[in-house]
Chain A
Amino acid sequence: MKILVVDDEKDVQVLFEQRFRKEIKSAEMQFVFAFSGEEALAYLNSHEHEAVLILSDINMPGMSGLELLGHIKQKYLKPPPVVMMITAYGDAENYNTAKRLGADDFLTKPVDFTLLKEKLKTIH
């Protein structure tokens, strides 16, 4: 399973690689990282149908996670991949917008990796 993680914080890559090192080792999961919404879209364009799950931060400079979500769910890929939004602000407005735009799930920072792993496994 290929997962695209979108976050403007570069250390997120190291963190995910450490957190999921067993899954990566066993090739159960494969991670790709993008550090902005634009980068994520570019990746999705060039690697169509590769990523089945997208984990995206909302609060990013430039294209926000919500805009990215809109692009993916409305204009891109059919069938659209599963998109989970992760945000530092777990407020109702963000949550509602994300849901309206078709987010499959909504997580707040700090991410509970145990919970995330379980969720990923159910999708799998």
Chain B
Amino acid sequence: MQFEFVVLIILFAYLRNNLQTKTRYPQWDKLLLGGLMLSVAFLIIDTTIKSSGVITPWIAHALFFSIIYLAITRKEFKPVLSIVYAIIPLVAINFIEDVVMLINVSFYDEWSSYFKTAGIFASIWLVAMLIINRRQRKALEKEQLKTAEKDKEVRITESLKAELEVQVAERTHALTIQKEELQHALNELNATQSQLIQSEKMASLGELTAGIAHEIQNPLNFVNNFSEVNAELIDELTQELEKGKIEEAMAIAKDIKDNEQKINHHGKRADAIVKGMLQHSRSSTGVKEPTNINQLADEYLRLAYHGLRAKDKTFNASMKTDFDASIGEIDIIPQDIGRVILNLITNAFYAVTDKKKKIPEGTSYDPIVTVITKKEKGKIKIKVHDNGDGIPSKVLDKIFQPFFTTKPTGQGTGLGLSMSYDIVSKGHGGELKVDTKEGVYTEFVIILPLST
């Protein structure tokens, strides 16, 4: 019977260890420990006292059955169920053997070889079950390991995800700040741009001031002079009438009327200049209105000429105009196109003045700035031509870029042509083209569509 107790000891120890009852099920642990102790005790008893063989097998059976019962009924024992199944045949055969031996010894003796065989089979069963169980456990362990690894991966992924989320939040925050900074910078740039546009406008107005003064002074002189003459003429008229010289009086009256017309003409001229000046300094209305291009070009040509003349006493150039009278009025934003024309004319005068300064003494050079208007194929062309030194090919593709200037520092804003380009292309759906030959001429052409 020692064998059964050994099995029991192993079984109890196995159960305790496998189920980890010490920590998980303390009440079962006590019981199992008790069973273990009992088995040890009976093993000792069984080996020392020979006569104990009558009772000890039944104790062993009871212990086995208790374990089997527990394993089958208690769900805590489920993990060890397969081991328990493995021992059932062995336990059952031993029990039947013992029962048979107790009831009928002769029958037992007769059938003992069968019992032995059954015992062997039960043992094989046990071993086979143990092997299977072991395999299953290994597979399970593998599976568990896999799951654990997967869990670990998931945990790593999750922690990475959390980390990423934190990073994303940080980046988002940084980007938001950057966006705000950029927005701020953009606002500042916009403000600076409008300031620059305003200062460019004011700079060109400054260039105009002297021209404007001259252009107003001249008509005003005429107004004053002709009105003085008229006052004298009226005195004479009275005298002639007193003398009864009607014909003479009529002639004088006609002169007075002619002079009145002159006064009116020059008054209107001054008026137009003041209006033009106001229009130039005012911010653009952005509204297109029917405008006489020829008149506009002529006005700015004179203003630019006298402006430069007043600033630089040595400045001199011939102005020529070739206006196409068939153009009539076209729809443009007069302030804007006026600025473009003024800008091109000022540049042209600058170019011829520059050339004249560089030209060797004794060489004859006749600086000429020509403004030509022309109507052709549904388009209006305004050409500003100068016989200056032209534009070098290496800077030709840069001239419409903002802040590009060939003038000495402080003399040009570098915005004139770029603003002109925008006004013509964006504002009027037209084109601003340049044609130049180094050392010979430059010609800017504003091309405006007739119907926009």
List residues of chain B with CB within 8 A of the CB of A77: none
Contact residues of B: prevailing secondary structure: helix
Nearest-neighbour CB distance to chain A for B156, whole angstroms, equals: 87
Nearest-neighbour CB distance to chain A for B352, whole angstroms, equals: 12
Indicate if A30 sits at the interface (CB-CB under 8 A).
no
- Which of A41-49, A57-65, A99-107 contacts the other chain? A57-65
Which one of A63, A93, A110 has the highest number of Cβ atoms from chain B below 10 Å of its Cβ? A110
- Would you call A11 and B318 a contact (CB within 8 A)? no
- Would you call B214 and A62 a contact (CB within 8 A)? no
Partner of B225, one of A63, A91, A110: A110
- Would you call B313 and A93 a contact (CB within 8 A)? yes
Nearest-neighbour CB distance to chain A for B264, whole angstroms, equals: 12
Indicate if A50 sits at the interface (CB-CB under 8 A).
no
Q: Which of B216-235 contact A (CB under 8 A)?
A: 217-218, 220-222, 224-226, 228-229, 233
Q: Which of A65-90 contact B (CB under 8 A)?
A: 67, 88-89
- Which of B25-33, B302-310, B430-438 contacts the other chain? B302-310
Number of interface residues of A (CB under 8 A): 22
Q: Which of B310-328 contact A (CB under 8 A)?
A: 310, 313, 316-319
- Would you call B306 and A15 a contact (CB within 8 A)? no
Q: A9-B218, A59-B214, A88-B218 are contacts. A14–B262 as well, Cβ < 8 Å?
A: yes
Indicate if A124 sits at the interface (CB-CB under 8 A).
no
Indicate if B266 sits at the interface (CB-CB under 8 A).
yes
Which one of B222, B259, B319 has the highest number of Cβ atoms from chain A below 10 Å of its Cβ? B222
Nearest-neighbour CB distance to chain A for B236, whole angstroms, equals: 9
Nearest-neighbour CB distance to chain A for B3, whole angstroms, equals: 138
Q: A18-B229, A19-B229, A93-B313 are contacts. A11–B222 as well, Cβ < 8 Å?
A: yes
Partner of B259, one of A18, A67, A89: A18
Q: Which residues of B contact A (CB under 8 A)?
A: 214, 217-218, 220-222, 224-226, 228-229, 233, 255, 258-259, 262, 265-266, 305-306, 309-310, 313, 316-319
Q: Which residues of A contact B (CB under 8 A)?
A: 9, 11, 14-15, 18-19, 59, 61-64, 67, 88-89, 91, 93-94, 97, 109-111, 113
- Extra contacts besides A15-B229, A18-B255, A19-B229 (18): CB < 8 Å: A11-B262, A14-B259, A14-B262, A15-B222, A15-B226, A18-B229, A59-B306, A61-B317, A61-B318, A62-B316, A62-B317, A62-B318, A64-B316, A67-B316, A91-B313, A94-B313, A97-B313, A110-B220
